[in-house]
Structure 1
Amino acid sequence: MSRSRSSRRTGSMRPVNAAADGREMRSVIAEDPEWSLELVPLLTTLCLQHIINHFTEKPILDDLTPDYKAYVLQRLPTSLPLTVSANLISDEGYWKRCCEGRWAVGDVSAYDNSWKRMFFERHLENIIEYFIPDATDTKTILEAVPLCRNFIKRLRVSQLLPPIKESARFDEDDRSDCASDTGSEGPSMDHFDFRMLLDKLPNLVEFDVVYGVKGCGMNFEWNLFEFTFRDCESLAKALNSCKTLQVLRIRRSKVDNEKCCLLVSQLLDHPSLQELDFSHNHIGDRGARAIGKLLTRAQLKRLVVCNNQIRGPGAQALAHALSRNTSLVSLNLRLNRVGDEGGQALAQALVKNGTLVSLHLGGNNLSEPTAVALSQTLVENRTLKNLNLSNNRLGVDGGKVLEEGMSHNGSLVECDIRLTDVSPDTL
């Protein structure tokens, strides 16, 4: 009797316990489907996760073993303050995650395969390109420089924003006072002032800047593309202070004769400048004479002044400097107006010059007299390898003369005479 009651009692209790256990298991599974007693984290993992979660307050990295250090670096958030990560983390995997999380497109091969260099160069470029004079605090630049100064080798600034214009609002009775109040006060700078930056980048070798605005759309105004004289003065001083600079490009910025002369005056004795690109500007003969003076004093290897307003006298000044220059290997004068006056002078300079390898004279209103001069030059010159005369009016006779000169030359490997009206036989 007691046994049966015991059996019944036991039998009646099992379903209750099973149901209770079932409810408990279902509750746990619903909250975390991957939960299992066998997956309790190791104490080491918990410690490393604690380091990751509190890395900003107490960065611990170099004291870890290589395996633990790799574990932490793979899991650190890319949102860490740069004041923490810049000079502490050198792992390329971390900086790759930072770049891919911030920019959709990026070619790391253009940055010596360094993701860290890519991140800091593009980071600084973005700060400059969206800097608004008298609106953006200069501390954004001054605070960023110590963090990125050692990783910046090249800056490509594709736009510079002008100051924000505020429409003048005053009553008729206030007109007499406007000149003495805020009406005469202008912005402290017309665009970003590079004097606060360039001398603080000890590894900068390449600088490319455009004074204009990208994507202005329906808000287009010509003053958005204005390189003022005040801009030019500050930029010239900044360039003079950057002694490591090797490549300088100021393109599509309306650099005229006056601004060109000012910029060149600060580059005459530059110790490291090797390439100068003033293409797509408004430089005329006076600016070309200034550049010619630079050729006689600096050690330039490449000069690009295509799509400017250089005519015969300016080309003659460049030719005079070229005849005495011993460093230049490439000269690009495409889309100017040098004419036969300048073309003949350049051809004669090549008789004396022994270093120039590439000369581009496409689209310069050249005709038969220049072809004759170049033909005579090719007989004597032994260094020129690339000559571009495309889109000129050499004519049938000019083509024949040029062909004769080339038959006595053994160094030229490329000559472009497309759209020059030469005969098919000459081609």
Structure 2
Amino acid sequence: MSKSKAPAGIHPPVAKLNPAADPRRMRRIIAEDPEWSLAVVPLLTNLCLQHIVKNFEKKPVLDELLPSQKAFVLEQLSPSLPLSVTANLISDEGFWKRCCEERWGIGDISEYGQSWKRMFFERHLENVIELFIPGVTDLSVVLDEVPLCQNYVRRLRISQLLPPIKEPAKFEDEDPSDSVSEEVGSDGPFMDHFDFRILLDKLPNLEELQLLYGVKSCGMNFEWNLFEFTFRDCESLAKALKSCKSLKVLRINQSKVDDEKCRTLVSSLLDHPSLLELDLAHNLIGDRGARAIGKLLKHSRLKRLDIYNNQIRGPGAQAIAHALSTNTTLLSLNLRLNRLGDEGGQAVARALLKNRSLLTLHLGANKLTEPTAIALSDALVQNTTLKSLNLSCNRLGVDGGKVLEEGMSHNNTLLEFDIRLTDVGLESEYSICKVLHNNQNKAHRKRTQDPAATT
């Protein structure tokens, strides 16, 4: 049977095939990477940048990149890269912010000069020192970090210093008494802490140092020797401070600094070229230590001195007052919670008759009574520099309040005067507050008229 042909110009109908049966549509590409897709083909540049990120620890490449490429690499880098690779190569604040947040969580950058990199290296070095155990930790643990940190550390706030591990006493059966006497009478190395001589002279930008010779969270392992600032510690610290020429602020609190240790520390600070603030609060400083501090006031450029909560009595306060009468740099003096008594209080008040630099004076809780109030009243009449005076928690009494009220009636410069818990009487409190209010208004008008004027 012959096949019929379609007329010229007319095409025969094409049969519709099942798509599943079309071999061309059944072809599939199975890639080794299941996430690979023909839809997006990475640029060769991106592949190179990803390779740089992956091999950054072995071969860091950063400065050779364009700004946009550099930003991409920095965003992809892991915060856990070794500091030996990143410390002196990466300055991007975003990278160091990720490093800080990964290690410590949220932090306040305002305390570190708005620099995440400075925050990281200061806190990192603080942690290294706080976990250092003398006689156990190798010195290289600290020294290896110095070249990485030294350009970025401006402040160290050490909240604990660990003593060496004390080995338990071993007694021999034949003569245990000898072992006991040796253990009790010795001042062995287990009483010493981190030696700052190996560190401070290697930090050229260090401006503030805060130390606490104690242990955090010791729990049931509490022993008094965990909170002991030994004389050997003091001597090594004094030598370290003398070599740290950039230091401006020194704080040693709650560390049992007594007279001898205070004298040792002060001797190293007498000719210090940059020290401006000294804080030895919450210690055991008495009159001998106060005399050394008085000598420091005569030979230094201190602007702030905090020695509150110590054991300074009248003679020690007299030594400080004698230096204060000739000092021209100190702006703030805090002597609260000592034992000055009227002997010391009157000496400080007499110093105010000559001193023309002090702006803030705190004499709270010093067992002051009416004689000191009389001396301070005379000082308030003549002194035109002091802006803030605190006499709280003393026993000035009603008569003391009246003489202070009289002195304040002739004063035009004091802006703050704390007389809480002094039993001066309500009338005196009201009159003194009224004078303070007038002085504050005058100061405000002066600042408004002349913004450059300082109070």
TM-score between the two structures when normalised by the length of structure 1? 0.92
- Separation of aligned partners in 2, 1:285 and 1:19: 99
Residue by residue over 1:92-133, the C-alpha shift from the partner in whole angstroms, topping out at 9 and shown as x without a partner, is 111011001100231101111000000000000000001001
Q: 2:377 aligns with which of 361, 375, 378?
A: 375
* Alignment map for 1:74-89 (pairs within 5 Å): 74-89=75-90
Query: 1:95–1:119: 8 Å Cα contact kept in structure 2?
Result: yes
| Distance in 2 (alpha carbons) for counterparts of 1:67 and 1:16 | 47
Distance apart, 1:167 and its partner CA: 1.4
**Alignment root-mean-square deviation, CA:** 2.8
Q: Deviations over 1:196-231 (max 9, x none)?
A: 000000001111000001111121111110001110
Structure 1 position 162, deviation (Å): 0.8
Cα distance, 1:168 vs structure 2: 3.4
Does the 8 Å contact 1:205/1:246 carry over to 2? yes
Alignment-derived partner of residue 244 in structure 1: 246
Change (3 A) 1:143 1:62: same
Distance 1:177 1:336, change over 3 A: closer
SS at match of 2:426: coil
Aligned equivalent of 2:152 = 151
8 Å Cα contact 2:163/2:190 also seen in 1? no
Render the CA deviation track for 1:293-349: whole Å, top value 9, x for unaligned: 000001111000000000111101100010111110100001001011100000000
Query: SS in structure 1 opposite 2:333?
Result: strand
Once residues 194 and 47 of structure 1 are traced to their aligned partners in structure 2, the CA distance between those partners, rounded to angstroms, is 46
Deviations 1:153-181 (A, max 9, x none): 111001001111121346436979989x9
Q: Matches of 1:363 and 1:189 in 2, distance apart?
A: 34
The equivalent residue for 2:72 is: 71
Equivalent positions of 1:11-410 (< 5 A) are 14-15=20-21, 17=23, 31-32=34-35, 35-169=36-170, 171-172=172-173, 186-187=188-189, 190-410=192-412
Q: What is the TM-score normalised by the length of structure 2? A: 0.86
Matched AA of 1:98: C
Quick one: distance in 1 between partners of 2:126 and 2:286?
31
The offset of 1:89, in angstroms, is 0.5
Measured in 1, the distance between the counterparts of 2:224 and 2:88 equals: 42
Helix, strand or coil at the partner of 1:425: helix
Cα distance in 2 for partners of 1:337, 1:197 equals 37
Shift in CA distance, 225/189, structure 1 to aligned 2, threshold 3 Å: closer
The change in CA–CA distance for 1:182 and 1:250 in structure 2 (over 3 A counts) is closer
SS in 1 for 2:269: coil
8 A Cα contact 1:133 1:189, kept in partner: no
Aligned AA (1:387): L
Across the two proteins, how many residue pairs are aligned to each other? 417
**Alpha-carbon offset, residue 425 of structure 1:** 1.2
Larger radius of gyration: 2
Contact 2:256–2:284 at 8 Å: present in 1 too?
yes
Q: Whole-Å Cα distance in 1 between the matches of residues 281 and 149 of structure 2? A: 30
Once residues 368 and 394 of structure 2 are traced to their aligned partners in structure 1, the CA distance between those partners, rounded to angstroms, is 5
The question of whether the paired residues in 2 share the 8 Å contact of 1:111 and 1:118 is answered with yes
Q: Secondary structure at the match of 1:119?
A: helix
Percentage of matched positions with identical amino acids: 67
